[in-house]
Structure 1
Amino acid sequence: MYFAALLARTEDGWEASDTELDDVETLSDLTDLAREASVDEDTVLLFIEQEDAWFGILRVEGEEDPRIYVSDAAAAARSSYGEILIDELTGGDDDDPADDLDTLDLDGTEDGEPDEIDEEDQEDDDGIPATGGEIAPAGPVGDREILADLGLSQGDLLALDTDAMAEIAEALGAAEVLESVR
């Protein structure tokens, strides 16, 4: 079960709306969805959460490239929406996905125990889950500073576990508006 919400920054604070992901198939679809919620090309955050297993944040500002953070790449890679975000962070269809691990912002858990693996998933030689030919490292990936200028430091972001969206909204001063769409 997914929960997805948009937080759009306005002159008067944050506006929240829940969003349907039914027609989303690509990162461009997610980015377009966020841009449509933008007021005067200001900051829009798209949150996706799957039953406390993982959460992802897509940040869009005007026509700039989106910034992405995913709390647990291995868990997200097993989900269709998570896979969209992970593919962008790992380089998607590159010939050697292992090369992408050097450019990811990992927290060191890639050397730890892998998550449980579904039968249809595979493992690489190091025991890291792989889906669709892409290596999905355990732990967070992406832009850890995605919310730093909005009041949530890298350390606070990495410490989030369950109910992450509520804690992020609280740090941004948007808890009430997010709760109204939950």
Structure 2
Amino acid sequence: MELVGEKYFEKLAMRSLFQDFYRNDNGSIIRCKMHDMVHDLAQYLTKNGCFNVEVDDIGEFRLNSYYEKARHSMIVLKENASFPISIFYENRLRSLVFHCDGWGSEHMYIETSKLFDHMSCLRALQFCYNSIKYVPIGVNKLIHLRYLDISENDDIKELPEVVYELYNLQTLNIKGCNNLTKLPKR
């Protein structure tokens, strides 16, 4: 399945639908940008399904008007930005992606613990490439979580025992957590 997806991605990239590729040390593509027209089309088609939040350092954030019904979200936090927890109250998100530009690990650890109180429906959570030191406290409250991605976070040294409380967890991506030395003992 992954190989099929890779072939489709390569074909779309050859047709210039993707641009500005970022690669890791192995030369693998870790992220890229969509062409503006493709992005606009994707947003139009998924306007009720997903929303993005961009928060700057003075606490202002932009989001589309469909966020209350959305099931998928990406949060982009600029350096020294405040976490916009209020928009996630009463939320039914199924997937959440964090992208933090220079955000402190300690700050994220505290703020996400508050956030998880309101995310009982979350199925997928991604924290990759964020320089976090710990798996966020309260992640065990996400009883429906099936996918947890903490990959490429070199500062994580151990996984907490609460990971075992995630009974529905099917995938735990720890690729690139090079300093990870301790796994839970169950």
Shorter-chain TM range is under 0.3
Give the TM-score normalised by structure 1. Answer: 0.26
Q: Whose radius of gyration is greater, 1 or 2?
A: 2
Structure of higher RCO (CA pairs closer than 8 Å, 6+ residues apart)? 1
Greater per-residue helix proportion? 1
